[in-house]
């Protein structure tokens, strides 16, 4: 797996740090894939509403502490989804419905599984 574009910080892997953006683009066995965030972020912290987690904290570790101490009220959160680049029929095929919590979950094994599924359709 070759990483073409990486738009996330290794200390900030939670999707709420990246509202509405492509965080990763990879190539594997001649196929290109992108990992994007989808959904809205709405967090209440110290009686203020935030739509970008970066305004509240700067790492997964800080986020975990805030959550552990019940300092955040996360009303909406976004998530990661993997999509093939250059292929639009995956919606009709019922593929790529998985939701990911961390960009590091995208491995060669995951990509191999999708490539195999594409060949079978």
All structural domains of the chain with their residue ranges: 2-120
Instruction: Evaluate whether 79 touches 100 at the Cβ level (below 8 Å).
Output: yes
Q: pLDDT tens digits for 35-94?
A: 999 999 999 999 999 999 999 999 999 999 999 999 999 999 999 999 888 876 666 666
DSSP state of 14: S
- Determine if the pTM surpasses 0.85: yes
């Amino acid at each position: 797996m070759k990483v073409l574009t990486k738009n996330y910080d290794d200390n900030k892997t939670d999707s709420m740090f990246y509202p509405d953006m492509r965080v990763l683009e990879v190539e594997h066995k001649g196929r290109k894939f992108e990992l994007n965030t989808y959904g809205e972020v709405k967090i209440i912290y110290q009686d203020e509403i935030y739509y970008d987690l970066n305004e509240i904290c700067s790492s997964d570790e800080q986020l975990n502490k805030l959550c552990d101490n019940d300092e955040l009220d996360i009303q909406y959160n976004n998530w990661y989804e993997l999509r093939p680049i250059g292929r639009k029929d995956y919606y009709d095929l019922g593929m790529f419905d998985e939701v990911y919590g961390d960009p590091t979950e995208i491995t060669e094994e995951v990509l191999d599984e999708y490539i195999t599924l594409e060949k079978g359709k």
